Amino acid sequence: MIYIAPSILAADYAALGSDVRKVANADLIHVDIMDGHFVPNLSFGPDVTKAVNNVTEQFLDMHLMIEQPEKWFETYVGAGGDRLVFHVEATSDHVGAARQAHDLGVQAGFAVKPGTSIEPYLDDLELFEEVMIMSVEPGFGGQKFMPEVLDKVRVLRDRIAEAGLGTIIAIDGGIAETTIAHAAAAGVESFVAGSAVFGKDDPAAAVENLRLLAEQAR
């Protein structure tokens, strides 16, 4: 199945509710949380997350680009997060973090930066509903897609199939009409798209176009 996840990092902050409603046809909403420490940028916090949750019933995928993410799990679940995706580079216990998320009644996911190897985490995939491959350095939108990260996608795809798991492979960074097919062909199922959705005159049509391009490449 193909999932298109518009990133509100590229939305109009002054009309956030309106922009979220424009992508009611999206499969989920991607919420980037940045603390200015793990990544050199600040973005949304729990109040904005709660505001988004109040205007949509869509699944909220929380991308926690923050240090010691476990300390904030309960806060973001309380704000409406449905899946907590944390960076393995930001925690010393990714397995414990996954269990903590599950104990809070939500899904768990982990993300890896472009330079982080996926192999050390392959044996723990059964604990995660999603693995997010970063195809740019996390922290800022509008960066250029890094195709070399698709090797990690292929490794994940093979291991997930071999183990018979339902773990979703997601990709975040530089996803647009010109890159989504390459990612889909490699095995990505969930695509985070910012300006490729909210930068268009018709965001809903952009979502459908991206979904079609991904489906055709699978």
Asked about 172 being catalytic, the answer comes back as yes
Binding site as annotated, residues for a divalent metal cation: 30, 32, 63, 172
Binding-site residue numbers are 7, 30, 32, 63, 139-142, 172-174, 194-195
d(Cα 135, Cα 112) in Å, to the nearest integer? 9
Catalytic residue, chosen from 27, 61, 82, 172, is 172
Annotated binding site for substrate: 7, 63, 139-142, 172-174, 194-195
Answer yes or no: are the C-beta atoms of 100 and 73 closer than 8 Å: yes
C-alpha distances in angstroms, 158 versus 55, 58, 120, 162?
38, 30, 15, 6
Q: What is the dihedral of CA 180, 184, 186, 192, to 10 degrees?
A: 60
Q: How far apart are the C-alpha atoms of 26 and 11, rounded to whole Å?
A: 14
Tell me how crowded residue 72 is: count the other CB atoms within 10 A of its CB: 21
- Label the pairing between strands 28-34 and 130-134: unpaired
Neighbours of 52 (CB within 10 A): 23
Does 151 qualify as catalytic in the annotation?
no
Identify the active-site residue in 32, 35, 61, 82.
32
3-state secondary structure of 106: coil
Catalytic residues: 32, 172
